[in-house]
Structure 1
Amino acid sequence: MSVAKSAEAFRTISEAAKELDVPQHVLRHWEEVFGQVRPMRRAGGRRYYRPLDIDLLRGIRTLLYDQRFTTKGVQKIFKDEGVKYVSELGRRAAAGEATDVRPVLDDEEKPDVETPTKASTKDDDGGVLDLMPASVVPAPGALSPAMRKNLTGLLRRLEQVQDALDQATLALEAINPEDDER
């Protein structure tokens, strides 16, 4: 009969791996790939994960396994959003809250459409080129239900393509792990 540890207790690597449902070698790999993961070390090199470390690891797990980001994608999130953001994702995942970081267009939500503007730039001779005439950009609220349905369908397909690309990248990284070091 084992007694459950309190939420504030430190975890060994085997306890952390079991709690996060990943093998121990994956935690050691994440330590190498993501410099933000730094568990305490005792004599003999034994790792002890603090509650904050567990939140961070759970955030990484959510981004990699649930959101299907690549290792490089997670590194970019660390760079752009910071450690606290990824830890918060981990806390939200532990609480069973939504952790989707990719924007999703809700069918009920109106898209942000800017007021029509005329985009232009100068060509090599100094003349003005129209990049997008104002007639191409719809005015706010000008999307018909059919157009809205088509755009929503396209967005869903693009998200599926992104997921497929993320899965393919993960598969390639698993085959060629040395490519991450370049």
Structure 2
Amino acid sequence: MSVTSQAVVARDSESESAYASEKSAEAFRTIGEAAAELGLKTHVLRFWETKFDNLRPMKRADGRRFYRPDDMELLRKLQNLLHVQGLTIRGAIMQLDGAMEGDDGNQPGAAAEVDENGADEMMVPVEAGASVRELQDAVRDAVERGDFQASNVKEPSMARDRLESLLSDLTNLKSRLDAVRTAA
């Protein structure tokens, strides 16, 4: 891409962002306007559409997306859950579906939730400012509570889902620990 075309892309992105912020809250937004307003890339919004069933922007015949005010509200919630609170996709889905009753979504820390089948899910704190010590303590507490015991799972399919969820949480923790170690 030439310097001239880079400048045009940057100018277009800035003007789209400014235009989106001038729109009323009730106005529909294109994917570019929605992404600019949220400070995200358009591919992130398209990815979220594949993961969150309730995120369904209107699409024109030519495939262009238009985000309604309700869609924008959902996108803001997703951004908060995923980027601010650090939940996994699955954790955000559970939060949106109300599976984490009694949790207003603003409380950091480890919490075990028991579903209707008796299997508990471990939520590990992923607050942006959580220290390595807090993360280690949360994992230790989860082990002490028995969150990792196979006896808590009644069906093999639930065990697989639980292991996948735990693997995702642990991978997320490892990434955060690695980032803290490199920053130190």
TM-score bin, normalised by smaller chain = 0.3 to 0.5
Larger radius of gyration: 1
Structure (1 or 2) with the greater helix fraction? 2
Structure with the bigger RCO (C-alpha within 8 Å, sep 6+) is: 1
TM-score by length of 1: 0.48
